[in-house]
Amino acid sequence: MKAVLIEKAEDTQSVSVKDVSEDQLPDGDVLVDVAYSTLNYKDALAITGKAPVVRRFPMVPGIDFTGTVAESSHADFKPGDRVILNGWGVGEKHWGGLAERARVSGDWLVPLPAPIDLRQAAAIGTAGYTAMLCVLALERQGVMPGDGEIVVSGAAGGVGSVAIALLAAKGYEVAAVTGRAAEADYLRGLGAASVIDRSELTGKVRPLGQERWSGGIDVAGSTVLANMLSMMKYRGVVAACGLAAGMELPSSVAPFILRGVTLAGVDSVMCPKSDRLEAWARLASDLDLGKLEELTTELPFAEVIETASKFIDGTVRGRIVVPVNP
């Protein structure tokens, strides 16, 4: 089978498209014919080697995929079932989606929810499913449409684009933060009410800033998240899921103890199955599929490796779907 393979010899990482024997697939009780994989920020880190995402070599990257069950000894799945996989260390510790077949634990799989198809589920991918987890985190903390603006960082990226479409569909007013002014029309097209230059969130962090937003979804971390927290309105809530700007958080306790701000952490990788099923059901019911198509680009399998570096440069718009065996 055809696969992207990351190898390591004497501390040097290399990556190429190779023919790999199916016998080399890791253990698992479900074999899946991969229809689509996708490119996420973490895949880019793995393929470029910019961060130690890959824990075992050789590794097939691809933290997510959609496809059809070919063989199963898991009680919940039978051949022909259409499934989605996100995370669980796939593409990091366990061979991932950028190959024609994947063998995984059936416990990791989510059945494809109607009305979305395999390509749409891949277009949503881990970035979109994480955006949904962030929206659910805001809802759980009581942030409602009509409460005031929700700020979304990394707006033109994968998580940001899907988050805007989801929030707008539910009637939230969205302020999109981007470093790319040229994407303003794209962001308004997804449903953003206003577009903010990223520089407004990268300056010196004050313990408390002007109260601007009722909620936030942050993919950047670092100074962007710290500034977002300091500009939350009283009892505002920020769902934080990313580190596109950095791992550190140069904040103070002021937003928490003086404004009652909540910082809700969001992890998609080890997220329990019940939350995944809820997120995918909500994606299937809430997401405007026309907007999903607008934010999706298809990338040939052969161009995956050369495209990965665009994530590191921050120049990818929306989501990238990779047809494997559509």
**Positions that interact with ligand NDP (CB under 6 A):** 40-42, 126-127, 130, 153-160, 178-180, 198, 219-220, 224, 241-245, 266-269, 311, 314, 316
CB of 286 to ligand NDP, least distance (A): 18
Q: State the Cα–Cα distance between residues 256 and 248, nearest whole angstrom.
A: 18
CB of 202 to ligand NDP, least distance (A): 7
Q: Which residue lies nearer to ligand NDP by CB, 125 or 236? A: 125
Distance CA 83, CA 190 (A): 27
Q: How far is the CB of 19 from ligand NDP (least distance, A)?
A: 29
CA distance 206 to 119: 44
Whichever of 220 and 232 has its CB closer to ligand NDP, that residue is: 220
Nearer to ligand NDP by Cβ, of 77 and 129: the residue is 129
Instruction: Decide: 30 and 109 in contact? Cβ < 8 Å.
Output: yes
Tokens 């700020």, residue located: 151
> Shortest Cβ distance from residue 127 to ligand NDP (Å)?
4
In angstroms, give the least distance from the CB of 176 to ligand NDP. Answer: 7
Are the C-beta atoms of residues 66 and 72 closer than 8 Å to each other? Answer: no
Instruction: Report d(CA 15, CA 21) in Å as an integer.
Output: 17
Q: Which CB, 41 or 95, lies closer to ligand NDP? A: 41
- Please give the Cα distance from 36 to 52 (Å, whole number): 25
The span from the first CA to the last CA of the chain, in angstroms, equals: 15
